[in-house]
Amino acid sequence: MERTLTILKPDCVKKQLIGAVINQIERAGFRVVAMKKIKLSKETAGEFYGVHRERPFFGELVDFMSSGPCVPMILEKENAVADFRTLIGATDPAEAEEGTVRKLHADSKGENIVHGSDSAENAAIEAGFFFAAEEVVRNN
């Protein structure tokens, strides 16, 4: 069983889509094994996205991710990393497949509703960023 880390981003929370997006995630066969609602500081958002520090959109990304509460979750499923990226669609909603989370709900490349880990290795690092071991609980 593989795990991936997602964040329902501040635009998802502001649009009151937490339930709708989690419903889509669960219907696709993912189990939520950890979840919390938090507001990132600019410093913490910058740390999480440290790999993008040199990118031109870094400042915008940090401002957006610290603009309101978000909901990080650890999800479990076979092939979770790749299957979750398929479920959410391309970073840019204009390029995302019909029916994907971003096609349905996202406004732009920056405000794109959800984050999804790009590898199992990064998923483990990102999960550790948000959750202590005792906060990760399998359903059964």
Q: By CB under 6 A, name the binding residues for ligand CMP.
A: 52, 57, 60-61, 91, 109-110, 112, 115
Strand-pair partners of 76: 3, 31
Q: How far is the CB of 61 from ligand CMP (least distance, A)?
A: 5
Residue 57 CB, nearest approach to ligand CMP (Å): 4
* Residue 91 is labelled as binding a ligand: yes
Alpha carbon separation from 70 to 8, 77, 79, 140 (Å, rounded) = 6, 22, 25, 26
| Residue 138 beta carbon to ligand CMP: minimum distance, rounded to whole angstroms | 25
Is residue 9 part of an annotated ligand binding site?
Answer: yes
Indicate if 115 belongs to the active site.
yes
57 carries a ligand binding annotation: yes
Of 107 and 135, CB closest to ligand CMP: 107
Question: Can you point out the beta strands (E) in the chain?
Answer: 2-8, 31-35, 71-77, 114-116
Catalytic residue among 5, 33, 115, 130: 115
| 3-state secondary structure at position 116 | strand
CB 6 within 8 A of CB 114: yes
Could you give the residue numbers annotated as active site? 115
